[in-house]
Amino acid sequence: MRRRLSLRDERWPTRDAFVIARGAKTEAHVIVVEIAQNGAVGRGEAVPYARYGQTMAGELERVETLREAVEHGASRTELQDLAPAGAARNALDCALWDLEAKRSGTPAWALAGLSVMHPVTTCFTISLDEPAAMGAAARAAARRPLLKLKIGGPGDLDRVAAVRDAAPASRLVVDANEALGFEDLRRLAPELANLGVELIEQPLKAGEDVALEGYDCPVLLCADESLHTRAELADCARRYGAVNIKLDKCGGLTEALALAALARAMGLQVMAGCMVATSLAMAPAMILAQGAQVVDLDGPLLLARDREPGLVFTGSEIAPPSRALWG
């Protein structure tokens, strides 16, 4: 029986304003794709991201251009050649994984070659704010084992120091979202190392991070905005020791798994990341998160409410997704 594709966008308010160096957001605006065949329905969720030139209207239109191919049976492998990396391909790719799992009765993690799915421990994000406010947020989250701090300008050292003082037992990573200059990084990195920061995400602008080549940073550097697919991996390997793989950037779980395998073969650590979205977007990334050195799948924790059924969080530990949710 021929497939039937349905498409919609949804808005999910955040619990508080989510603030990074580029700005703030108060909702997650997501694409949801459903692909039905023979009574089974596969679902995928994705987030168009303005930083990468995407709009909701543009990504919805891209899905529409792929409707005929998908409804006539295009595979995940064929989809890689039919659409560029991005939110539209991610939603379709994840829906196809889910559909195959539902139709075959084989969990998506088994289709991906895993023998078992384990719970993972996620970062919990502290939004960019004044040091006192970030310290207060960290104090409220001090029982979480891993905190991710958004930084991005004057006062960054004070921000990290305030969080460290408020959550002395938590491991820390920081995310600059391209907001630092190279000299800023050189000045800050030793101080961040002294505060116990384990990783710095994307300190410099993508395209300007060639300056990192040959720099011996005292804190592990992780590419985010500089990495989308395997095409950028060789450049990243010369500049970073880790890469943040997000399904929305690379265009789905299919590319994410290939990208992670190649990154590991090149000696890079893997971070499984996300945009702010519901559990439906996080569930496929749970497969990517198996074996990742850092997991950042806290999107649902940042929302005022999540979809049901959603992922089950026990503190910062995420249980594998139920089949009713995805996969």
Tell me: the pLDDT tens digits for 156-176?
A: 999 999 999 999 999 999 999
> Nearest to residue 242, comparing CAs of 179, 280, 294?
294
Q: Is 249 a catalytic residue?
A: no
Helix (H, G, I), strand (E, B) or coil at 155: coil
At a CB cut-off of 8 Å and minimum separation 6, what does 231 contact?
none
pLDDT at 34: 98
- The DSSP bridge pattern shows strands 120-121 and 197-201 to be unpaired
Q: Give the active site residue among 25, 102, 148, 150.
A: 150
Residues of the chain with pLDDT under 50: none
Task: Tell me what pLDDT residue 51 has.
Answer: 87
Which residues face 42 on adjacent strands? 35
Q: What distance, in Å, lies between the first and last C-alpha atoms of the chain?
A: 21
Instruction: Give 45-58 pLDDT, tens digit per residue.
Output: 999 988 888 999 99
Strand segments, DSSP code E, in 218-299 are 220-223, 242-245, 269-272, 294-295
Identify whether 25 is a catalytic site residue: no
Residues 6+ apart with CB under 8 A from 124: 141, 144, 146, 147, 148, 298, 301, 316
Give me the amino acid identity at 213.
E
d(CA 315, CA 178): 29
Q: Which CATH class, in words, describes the domain spanning 4-105?
A: alpha beta
Query: Are the C-beta atoms of 50 and 87 separated by less than 8 Å?
Result: no
276 in Cβ contact with 28 (< 8 Å)? yes
Rounded to two decimals, the pTM is 0.96
Residue with tokens 């409410």: 305
Per-residue confidence (pLDDT) for residue 24, from 0 to 100: 80
CATH 3.30.390.10: which residues of the chain? 4-105
User: Which tokens is 64 given?
Assistant: 């529409």
The catalytic position among 102, 148, 246, 249 is 246
List the beta bridge partners of residue 126. 149
CATH 3.20.20.120 maps onto the chain at 120-318
Question: For 10-67, what is each residue's pLDDT tens digit?
Answer: 999 999 888 787 788 899 999 999 999 999 999 999 999 888 889 999 999 999 999 9
Architecture of domain 120-318: Alpha-Beta Barrel (3.20)
Rounded to the nearest 10°, the torsion over CA 91, 273, 167, 16 is -30
CA atoms within 13 A on the CB side of 53: 2
